[in-house]
């Protein structure tokens, strides 16, 4: 923990989560987007949505059991959330990179002014968040897939794992990432504002002292 020097190092666990679960996996190892792979991923996911939702509507028209209706209602909500997850990733991942870059500039500015920000606590908090998030998400996904396998079938469980569990996981990773970085950026902004306010107060104090000195001389 003592080697944590900047925000990027502090949030490295979340950056790795993005690389593993989000489309950032297509940026390894060249550290730039591979748009062909990203487009292929989106097309395959949307195809899976169509298949699973079409099967759901077809089955819904054939059976009107109460449990069956609830299942396909929940399925429709999950498909909507999964589609929004992909859109959120494209939007928020760019914001995440901008926040990291802005914080890097702020860190260098504060270091130049002799102010050091301690990132050890941030790193510990993020590790705890990631551990809790991983346990909860993996548990929910495993229980969901087991239930589908026993009550619906093998292939529908496989489709759900790819088309629902994976994108919902993406969405939760992006939300966790964005919330953590926004919190740290807010703290850094407060430090900069307080430092600027202290500079202004010092300047005003010097001006008042100079004015009083002139009055005494006169």
Tell me what the mean pLDDT of segment 2-11 comes to: 70
Return the sign of the alpha-carbon dihedral for residues 75, 81, 84, 85: negative
How would you class 39 by CB atoms within 10 Å of its CB: exposed for 0-12, middle for 13-18, buried for 19 or more? Answer: exposed
Q: Which of 87, 89, 106 is nearest to 178 (CA)?
A: 89
> What are the tens digits of pLDDT across the range 125-174?
778 877 887 787 777 777 777 776 776 666 666 666 666 676 667 667 76
User: What is the chain's mean pLDDT, rounded?
Assistant: 64
The encoded tokens of residue 79 equal 């498909």
CA–CA distance, 144 with 140 (Å, rounded to integer): 6
Give CA 182 to chain center in angstroms: 10
CA–CA distance, 109 with 120 (Å, rounded to integer): 19
Residue 10 neighbours by CB distance under 10 Å:
26
Which pLDDT belongs to residue 205?
Answer: 47
Among all chains, which residue has been given the structure tokens 């209706």? 69
Going from the C-alpha of 136 to that of each of 10, 16, 81, 176, the distances in angstroms are: 22, 18, 18, 13
Let me know: does 56 contact 164? Beta carbons within 8 Å. Answer: no
Q: What is the DSSP string of 11-47?
A: THHHHHHHHHHSGGGGGTTTTS--HHHHHHHHHHHHH
Map out the domains of the chain as residue ranges: 7-215
> What are the tens digits of pLDDT across the range 31-52?
555 666 666 766 776 676 677 6
């Amino acid at each position: 923990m003592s080697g944590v020097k900047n925000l990027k190092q502090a949030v490295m666990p979340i950056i790795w989560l993005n690389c593993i679960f989000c489309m950032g996996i297509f940026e390894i190892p060249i550290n730039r987007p591979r748009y062909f792979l990203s487009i292929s991923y989106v097309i395959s996911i949307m195809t899976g949505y169509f298949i699973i939702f079409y099967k759901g509507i077809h089955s819904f028209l054939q059976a009107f059991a109460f449990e069956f209706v609830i299942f396909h209602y929940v399925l429709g909500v999950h498909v909507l959330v999964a589609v929004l997850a992909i859109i959120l990733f494209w939007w928020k991942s760019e914001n995440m990179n901008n926040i990291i870059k802005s914080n890097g500039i702020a860190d260098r500015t504060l270091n130049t002014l002799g102010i050091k920000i301690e990132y050890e606590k941030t790193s510990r908090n993020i590790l705890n968040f990631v551990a809790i998030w991983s346990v909860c998400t993996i548990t929910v996904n495993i229980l969901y897939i087991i239930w589908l396998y026993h009550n619906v079938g093998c292939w529908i469980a496989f489709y759900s794992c790819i088309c629902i569990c994976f994108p919902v996981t993406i969405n939760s990773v992006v939300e966790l990432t964005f919330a953590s970085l926004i919190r740290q950026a807010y703290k850094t902004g407060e430090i900069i504002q307080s430092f600027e306010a202290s500079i202004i107060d010092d300047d005003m104090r010097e001006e008042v002292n100079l004015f009083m000195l002139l009055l005494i001389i006169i």
